[in-house]
């Protein structure tokens, strides 16, 4: 069995586990702590170090950390639901210095999207776009099994707005939209992505994907669109697999 550790840092919780890279299954207890209030770099790093120490892995075991920010050459260039102190910070180096080991550091939506391609419903040749409909809209683009990082497709300007301001699940809830009303906005959003990128497959994640039968059948697209399958473990699984340098052996046909 080939293993790696994945750590998923979020705005409310930090999760970590050892992952069997062949299957994506968690082969340790999934550890979780609350994200420290304010989400400062020092406080978050201390929690991550504590979780990794509890997993008692050999230092040669690959370790991946995913984080709610645009990540460019190890720097966090944005900050979603964590302290603005992260913006411009050499975050990968900060984690490595405190952990005493190399890590792979990646955006959280990218990690989750990669996991969905490798272990979930999105294994398909060509371009796959994974979107998460939540507080905003996260995205991951994977081309022939290779991640194209930091796509941030929730921030495309659409009809004069950031797309996520109109089409996220938060917008649906805060405006009291019916599934049918929300589907009109989703249709506009996915039509736009389809026009720009001509993907082979859309995968829709986020907590609302558990109710995919309420809104996916209301969409009419050329591109197949399916609900994500990995739920809350996707970030752990994807960051672990990316840390080990894995790409995706693609199937010859569509799954899901």
Query: Of residues 225 and 11, which shows the higher confidence score?
Result: 225
Q: What pLDDT does 34 receive?
A: 96
Q: What pLDDT does 102 receive?
A: 96
Range 176-201 average pLDDT: 98
pLDDT single digits (tens) 86-107: 999 999 999 999 999 999 999 9
Question: For residue 156, what are the contacts with CB-CB under 8 A and spacing of at least 6?
Answer: 162, 163, 192, 193, 196
Q: Is the dihedral of CA 220, 221, 224, 225 positive or negative?
A: negative
| DSSP classification of residue 89 | B
Could you tell me if 225 and 256 are in contact, meaning their C-beta atoms sit under 8 angstroms apart? no
| Pick from 87-91, 238-242, 245-249: least confident | 245-249
* Residue 206 φ/ψ region, left for φ over 0, alpha for ψ in the -120 to 50 degree band, beta for the rest: left
Q: What pLDDT does 253 receive?
A: 46
Q: How confident is the model at residue 13 (pLDDT cuts 50, 70, 90)?
A: very high
Q: What pLDDT does 195 receive?
A: 98
pLDDT at 67 over 80: yes
> Average pLDDT, whole number, for the chain?
93
Q: What pLDDT does 8 receive?
A: 95
| Pick from 118-122, 176-180, 198-202, 247-251: least confident | 247-251
Q: What pLDDT does 22 receive?
A: 94
pLDDT at 256 over 80: no
Domains recognised in the chain with CATH numbers: 3-106 (3.30.420.40), 121-228 (3.30.420.40)
Query: Of residues 58 and 151, which shows the higher confidence score?
Result: 151
């Amino acid at each position: 069995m080939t293993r790696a550790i994945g750590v998923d840092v979020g705005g409310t919780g930090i999760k970590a586990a050892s992952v069997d890279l062949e299957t994506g299954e968690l082969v340790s207890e999934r550890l979780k702590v609350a994200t420290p209030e304010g989400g400062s770099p020092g406080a978050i790093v201390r929690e991550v170090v504590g979780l990794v120490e509890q997993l008692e892995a050999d230092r040669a075991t690959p370790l991946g950390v995913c984080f709610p920010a645009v990540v460019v050459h190890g720097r966090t260039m944005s900050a979603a639901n964590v302290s603005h102190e992260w913006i411009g910070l050499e975050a990968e180096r900060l984690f490595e210095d405190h952990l005493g080991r190399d890590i792979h550091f990646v955006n959280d939506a990218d990690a989750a999207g990669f996991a969905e391609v490798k272990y979930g419903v999105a294994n398909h040749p060509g371009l796959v776009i994974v979107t998460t409909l939540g507080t905003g809209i996260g995205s991951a683009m994977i081309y022939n099994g290779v991640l194209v990082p930091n796509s941030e497709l929730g921030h495309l300007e659409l009809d004069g707005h950031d797309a996520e301001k109109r089409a996220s699940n938060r917008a649906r809830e805060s405006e009291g939209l019916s599934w049918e009303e929300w589907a009109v906005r989703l249709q506009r959003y996915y039509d736009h992505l389809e026009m720009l990128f001509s993907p082979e497959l859309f995968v829709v994640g986020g907590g609302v994907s558990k109710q995919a039968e309420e809104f996916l059948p209301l969409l009419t697209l050329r591109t197949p669109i399916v609900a994500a399958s990995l739920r809350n473990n996707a970030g752990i699984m994807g960051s672990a697999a990316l840390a080990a340098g894995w790409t995706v052996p693609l199937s010859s046909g569509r799954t899901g």
